[in-house]
Amino acid sequence: MLDHVSLFVPELPGYGISSPSRDNTRIGIAGALVEAMSKVFNLSKDSPRKVIAIGHDRGARIVHRLAVSRNDFPAVALIGAAMFDIVPTKAQWDAFQDPAINAGYFHWPFLANVDYAVQVISKYGGGQWAKDMHKRITGGDADLERTAADGAHDVYAACFDKEETLRYSCEDYAYGAGPEYQHQSEDQKAGRKVDVPTLIMWSKAKLGSRMDVAKIWEDWIAPGTDYEAIGVGDGHGHFLPEEAPKEVMEAIIAFTQRLA
């Protein structure tokens, strides 16, 4: 067991009630979150702290960048990375040559056209867009009910009714299509891969229905690295922490205990 564990659960800048970051690149967001954590726990390169980074979807992409570029963040000693329901950003964009994947993930190129997407979604209703997209990628009715517990969908809708939130989320996709795609291409050419113990979990019914998630990640993780890949079944959709909390909790506990 780890001797002492503290949880630091940040919101991605600009996505909810927080202000957008000055630097919207993935490494910029990772830096902002590390800076915030450093202030909370009084960390520095002279007194780093062991960190296990865990993220879902957009947050998981920040975890991926943090893991690959961990030497750029000397205030933290990354000892593990867990990422839920994603493949690397470059791999996702490259997969769009498959028409079915293109149709299923139509929002990627749409949102990456920031000004146009903001105008269209604003007319549609940002809150309604958030609710409809949520339903689109959730599993069955029981899963939808879990994700909506305690009025969560209404909270998301209220955030996306604000143009700032809507615009930032679109900027996030635009950076994925441009700078981060290029950054990951350069990482792969240079052999810069995730080299800390890694846990990948994904929905078999959604992401896993068209992509071999476990196989794709193998090319992004350094040879010899502790790597565990878990596909979650039973029809659960994209929002694994809410839809399959027991499976996610058990996997995280087992993962962190291995790192002790």
Contacts of residue 226, defined as CB under 8 A and 6 or more positions apart, other chains included, come to: 197, 198, 258
Mean pLDDT score of the chain, rounded to an integer? 93
Q: How high is the pLDDT of residue 18?
A: 84
* Position 3 confidence tier, pLDDT thresholds 50, 70, 90: low
Q: State pLDDT tens for residues 102-156.
A: 999 999 999 999 999 999 999 999 999 999 999 999 999 999 999 999 999 999 9
* Position 249 confidence tier, pLDDT thresholds 50, 70, 90: very high
Q: How high is the pLDDT of residue 155?
A: 95
Give the chain as a 3 state SS string: CCCCCCCCCCCCCCCCCCCCCCCCCHHHHHHHHHHHHHHHHCCECCECEEEEEEEECHHHHHHHHHHHCHHHCCCEEEEEEEEECCCCHHHHHHHHHCHHHHHHCCHHHHHHCHHHHHHHHHHHCHHHHHHHHHHHHCCCHHHHHHHCHHHHHHHHHHHHCCHHHHHHHHHHHHHHHCHHHHHHHHHHHHCCCECCCEEEEEECCCHHHCCCHHHHHHCCECCCCCEEEEEECCCCCCCHHHHCHHHHHHHHHHHHHHCC
* Position 158 confidence tier, pLDDT thresholds 50, 70, 90: very high
Q: How high is the pLDDT of residue 5?
A: 77
Contacts of residue 225, defined as CB under 8 A and 6 or more positions apart, other chains included, come to: 193, 194, 195, 196, 197, 198
Q: How high is the pLDDT of residue 224?
A: 97
pTM: 0.94
Tell me the mean pLDDT in the region 188-210.
97
Q: How high is the pLDDT of residue 180?
A: 93
Q: In what order do the strands lie in the sheet with 49-56?
A: 49-56, 76-84, 198-203, 227-232
C-alpha dihedral, 216 to 220 to 221 to 227, nearest 10°:
-30
CATH code at 26-94+178-258 = 3.40.50.1820
Q: State pLDDT tens for residues 20-47.
A: 877 777 888 888 898 889 999 988 888 8
Q: Delimit the domains of the chain by residue range.
A: 26-94+178-258, 95-173
Task: Flag whether pLDDT at 2 surpasses 60.
Answer: no
Tell me the mean pLDDT in the region 218-240.
97
* Position 94 confidence tier, pLDDT thresholds 50, 70, 90: very high
Task: Flag whether pLDDT at 1 surpasses 70.
Answer: no
Of the candidates 102, 112, 120, 50, the one whose C-alpha atom is nearest the C-alpha of residue 81 is 50
